Amino acid sequence: MTALLPEHSNEARRTLSIGIIGVGRLGTAFADALRLAGYTRVRLATRADAHATVEACGLVFVTVPDRVIRDAVEALPWRVGQGMVHTSGALGLDALDAAAARGALRGCLHPLQTFPGTTSPMDSAARFRGIACGVEGDPPLGDLLAAVVGDLGGWALRLDGVDRALYHAAAVLVSNDVVALMAAATRVWEQAGLPVRDAREALAPLLLAAASNVARLPLELALTGPIARGDLSTVQRHLEALAGDADLSATYRALGRELLRLDLSHTPEINAALAALLRG
C-alpha cells in the first residue's frame, strides 16, 4: 500500500485510515491522542468489529492482551502491504507471523507509559508527550511508526535486535513494581503503629520527589537516605526492626544491594560493611 511509504508528507500521514482493535485503556487513549494530533481517519473497534476494521483500514493496531494477540491475528483477513501492529512490550514481531503470511507488514509500537482508566482525551494525548515508545517494523513500516510517535510528541526507541523480554522486564520494574514497593512500605508503616489510611497520603509525595530526582539527575545524585550517606547504624536498625517479617527484610536487603552497585563515593570499608549488612 502506498499509504505506508515513508516519503509521504506529514499531512498525508495524518489521512491514513487507521484501525485500533481493542477498547481498553491503551486503545482508547491511543485513539484519542491520534485524533488530537490531527489524524482524521481513526477507527476504534471492539474485537466484534475487528474483521470489518481490518478490511477498511490500511494500518491496524491490535491493543488486546498479549495472551490473545496471536489468535486474534490468525482470525483476521490481512492483505498485501497492510500494516499490522501490536502494542506489546514483551512480544516480538513473530507474534504477527500469521498476518505476514498473507502479505501484511508487521510492526510494534509500545508506549513506555501507564494509562489509568479515567482520563479525558486531552489527558490521553498528554501522556504521549515526551515519552519513549518502543518501535519495530518490517520496512517501511518501522519508519512510519517512528514518525507517528513523533507526531504524538514522543520519541521512538528502536527495538530491532533487542531482547524484548528483558526490555519489558525493565519497564515493569520501574512502573508496576513501584506499586509493589508502595504496598510493602504500607505494610511497614502499619507495623510501625501508624494508621494504614494515612500511608498513601504521607508517602506518595516522597515517592513523587524521588521520581522527579531520578528524571533530572544521575542516579548517584538522585539517591538520598542512609545508604547514600553510608549510615551503617541506621541500616542496622532498619534490618533489626524488619527481622520479624522475612519477606519485607528480603525486599529491603535486595533493594539495598542494588543501590550499592551505584558509585556512591564511599570508602572501600564502608562499602564492604554495607554489603555485609545487606547480605545478612
For 14-32, the pLDDT digits (tens) are: 999 999 999 999 999 999 9
Whether the pTM exceeds 0.85: the reply is yes
Which pLDDT tens digit goes with each residue over 101-153?
A: 999 999 999 999 999 876 788 999 999 999 999 999 999 999 999 999 999 99
pLDDT score, position 11? 80
User: CATH number of the domain at 173-279, out of 1.10.1040, 2.60.40, 1.10.1060, 3.40.50?
Assistant: 1.10.1040
Amino acid at 57: C
Residue 1 has pLDDT above 50, yes or no: no
Contacts of 156 (CB under 8 A, 6+ apart): 132, 133, 135, 145, 146, 149, 150
pLDDT score, position 2? 40
Rounded to whole angstroms, how far apart are CA atoms 248 and 178?
15
pLDDT score, position 280? 80
pLDDT score, position 147? 95
Rounded to whole angstroms, how far apart are CA atoms 162 and 242?
39
In terms of C-beta density within 10 A (0-12 exposed, 13-18 middle, 19 or more buried), how is residue 232 classed?
A: middle
Residue 3 has pLDDT above 50, yes or no: no
> C-alpha distances in angstroms, 20 versus 53, 102, 151, 236?
8, 20, 17, 53
Which pLDDT tens digit goes with each residue over 224-263?
A: 999 999 999 999 999 999 999 999 999 999 999 999 999 9
Alpha helices in 4-102 (DSSP H): 10-13, 25-36, 50-56, 66-74, 97-100
Task: Indicate left, alpha or beta for 130 from its phi (over 0: left) and psi (-120 to 50: alpha).
Answer: left
Which pLDDT tens digit goes with each residue over 54-99?
A: 999 999 999 999 999 999 999 999 999 999 999 999 999 999 999 9
What number of other Cβ atoms are within 10 A of residue 102's Cβ?
A: 14
Residue 6 has pLDDT above 70, yes or no: no
Residues of the chain with CATH 1.10.1040: 173-279
Residues of the chain with CATH 3.40.50.720: 2-161
pLDDT score, position 153? 97
Phi, psi of 21 (to 5 degrees): -100, 110
To 5 degrees, how large is the angle CA 146–CA 150–CA 151?
A: 115
Rounded to whole angstroms, how far apart are CA atoms 216 and 263?
17
pLDDT bracket for residue 4 (50, 70, 90): low
What homologous superfamily does CATH list for 2-161? NAD(P)-binding Rossmann-like Domain (3.40.50.720)
Is the CB of residue 125 less than 8 Å from the CB of residue 33?
yes
Amino acid at 253: R
Which pLDDT tens digit goes with each residue over 151-196?
A: 999 999 999 999 999 999 999 999 999 999 999 999 999 999 999 9
Residue of 143, 135, 198 whose CA lies nearest to 161: 135
Residue 203 has pLDDT above 50, yes or no: yes
pLDDT score, position 8? 58
